[in-house]
Amino acid sequence: MDTDSIPLLCIMIALIAFSGFFSASETAFSTMNRIKVKNMAQAGNRTAECALALAEDYDRLISTILVGNNIVNIALASIGTVFFTLFFPKNGVSISSIVITVVVLIFGEVSPKSLAKEAPEAFVLVATPFLRVILLVLAPINMVFTLWKKLLLKIFKIKGSNIVTEEELLTIVEEAESVGGIDEDEGEIIRSAIEFNDLSAQDILTPRVDVTALSMNADREEITACFMESGFSRIPVYEESIDNIVGVLNQKDYYEKVLYGDGDIKDAVGSVIHITQTVKIGDLLKIFQEEKVHMAVVTDEYGGTAGIITLEDVLEQLVGEIWDEHDEVQEDIRQVGEADYIVSCNTAIDKFIETFALTCETDAATVSGWVTEQIGKIPAEGECFCCERLDVTVTKTETTRVLEIAVHVMPEEENDETEGE
C-alpha cells in the first residue's frame, strides 16, 4: 500500500463511521420513547432537553440526517472507486461497487440501526450534540428542502394528521403488554379508561324491576327490614309510585334521625339527581363529584323511572367488579363444562358477543333482551334456539323476563350440519 492510498483509506473509514452514525440516529429518533426522554429532561438532563427539541422539529431533523447520509455515501462511493482503481486499474470500478455496497450495508446501515433500536434513548443522548452542529452546517440545504416539501404538499394537496385515534391507543396498549412494559391488569385498566366514555347510562343502570325502593309513607319496621334484607346503605324513596323517586335515604341518616331520633323519614331523605339514559358515564362521574351524591335516577323518554345508577356502578367500569363482605359474588358468564356455560341475563350484550365471538347485530342492551329478540316473544323455561355456533336454552325466568340461560358452544362441523338442515 503506497502513501497515496493511506489517506484515502482513512477518509473511507471516517465516511463509513459517519454513515453508521446517520443511520443509527434516524432509527434512534424514530423509535425512542419520548416519555422516558421527557422524564430525563424534567430531572435536569440538558442533553435530553435538546433531544426533545430536535424531536419536536422532526421534519428538519430527518432531512438533515438523510442529506448527511447521502452526501457521505456518495463521497464514499467516489473515493472508493479512486482507491480500488489504484490497485486494479482494469476492474477497479466493479470491485469498488461490490465492496462499498457490502461495507455500507453491513457497517453503515444494518449494524448501526440494529444497535440503535435496542437502546434508542441512550443513543439519542450521545448523538444530539453532534446533530445540533450538523443542523447548523446543513441549514441552507434544509431550507431548500423545506420549501420543496411545501411545494409538493400544495401540488398533491396532502394533508397530514397527528391525531391519535382510540383504536391506535388500544393497539399501543396491546403492544406494551406483549413486550412486558405493562402487565395484563394494568392494560385492562388503561383500556377501560380509554373506552370509559363510550358507555352511556343505559348500558350500566340497574333496571327498574331490580331496584329496591321505599315509599315515603313506609313505617320504621318496614324501613329497617328493607335495609337489613337488601344490605344496601342507600335506598331510593318514592311518592305514590317508583316512577316518582323524590330522594335517597342513607342508612346512617335513618338511624340518627329516625330510628334513634324524633324525626320521620322525610327528615332523613336526601336529594337525588335525575339523568337521561343517553348521558355518558364520564359526564355522570363529574355530576356525582359536583353534586356530592352517590346515586342517580335514570328516567326514560316518558318521564318514568328506567333504573338507577350508583357511583360504584360507574367506578366498576374502570376497575372491574367491586365486591364487599356483604355481596354475593356472581359471575356473569360461568363455564360449567368444556363447551357449556351458564349466563346471567343481566350481562351486557357487548360482553356476551365478545366472549362468544358472535357476528350477529342486535339493538338489545342485555342478554335478556337479546334472548327475547331471538325467540320473538317472552320466553318460557326450557325454550331453545340456535344462533351461529351457540345452542341456547332458557333455564330461569321471572314473570316477563329471562334471568338465566345455558349456552352450549357447538363444534364447527356440528354447526354446519345444523345450518344445512
pLDDT (tens digit per residue) in 247-268:
999 988 888 888 887 777 888 8
Domain range list for the chain: 5-156, 166-198, 201-319, 333-420
Q: Band of the pLDDT at 421, cuts 50, 70, 90?
A: very low
Q: What is the CATH number of domain 333-420?
A: 3.30.465.10
Model-level pTM?
0.56
| CA dist., res. 52 & res. 32, Å (int) | 10
Mean pLDDT of 324-329: 55
Give one word for 307, left, alpha or beta, with left for phi > 0 and alpha for psi -120 to 50.
Answer: left
Q: Which three cell numbers stand for residue 139?
A: 441549514
Mean pLDDT of 350-376: 85
Specify the pLDDT at position 91.
84
Mean pLDDT of 383-395: 88
Specify the pLDDT at position 21.
92
Strand order in the sheet with 234-238: 214-215, 234-238, 245-250, 269-270
Comparing CA positions, the residue from 77, 345, 114 lying closest to residue 207 is 345
Mean pLDDT of 195-208: 83
Give one word for 230, left, alpha or beta, with left for phi > 0 and alpha for psi -120 to 50.
Answer: alpha
DSSP state of 217: T
Specify the pLDDT at position 420.
46
Considering only 76-80, 242-246, 400-404, 411-415, which range has the smallest mean pLDDT?
411-415
Please classify residue 25 by burial: count the beta carbons closer than 10 Å to its beta carbon, then call 0-12 exposed, 13-18 middle and 19+ buried: buried
Mean pLDDT of 345-366: 83
Mean pLDDT of 224-249: 89
Residue 326 has pLDDT above 60, yes or no: no
Please classify residue 293 by burial: count the beta carbons closer than 10 Å to its beta carbon, then call 0-12 exposed, 13-18 middle and 19+ buried: middle
- Write down the residue that cell numbers 329496591 correspond to: 212
Q: Which amino acid is at 25?
A: S
What sign results for the dihedral spanned by CA atoms 83, 88, 89, 90? negative
SS3 278: coil
Going by C-beta distance under 8 Å and a sequence separation of 6 or more, which residues neighbour residue 409?
Answer: 339, 340, 341, 356, 389, 390, 391
Q: Strand locations in 37-96, DSSP E?
A: none
What are the φ and ψ backbone dihedral angles of 364, each rounded to 5 degrees? -70, 150
SS3 83: helix
Residue 241 has pLDDT above 60, yes or no: yes
What are the φ and ψ backbone dihedral angles of 178, each rounded to 5 degrees? -65, -30
- Considering the chain, what is the average pLDDT of its residues? 84
Burial code (b: 16+ CB inside 10 Å, e: under 16) for 147-162 equals eeeeeeeeeeeeeeee
Quote the percentage of the chain above a pLDDT of 90.
19
CA distances from 331 to 102, 190, 321, 368 (A): 62, 22, 10, 16
CATH 3.10.580.10 fits 201-319, yes or no: yes
Specify the pLDDT at position 162.
61
Same fold, 201-319 and 333-420: no
pLDDT 10s digits, 291-319:
888 899 999 888 889 999 998 888 888 77
Specify the pLDDT at position 113.
92
Residue 53 has pLDDT above 70, yes or no: yes
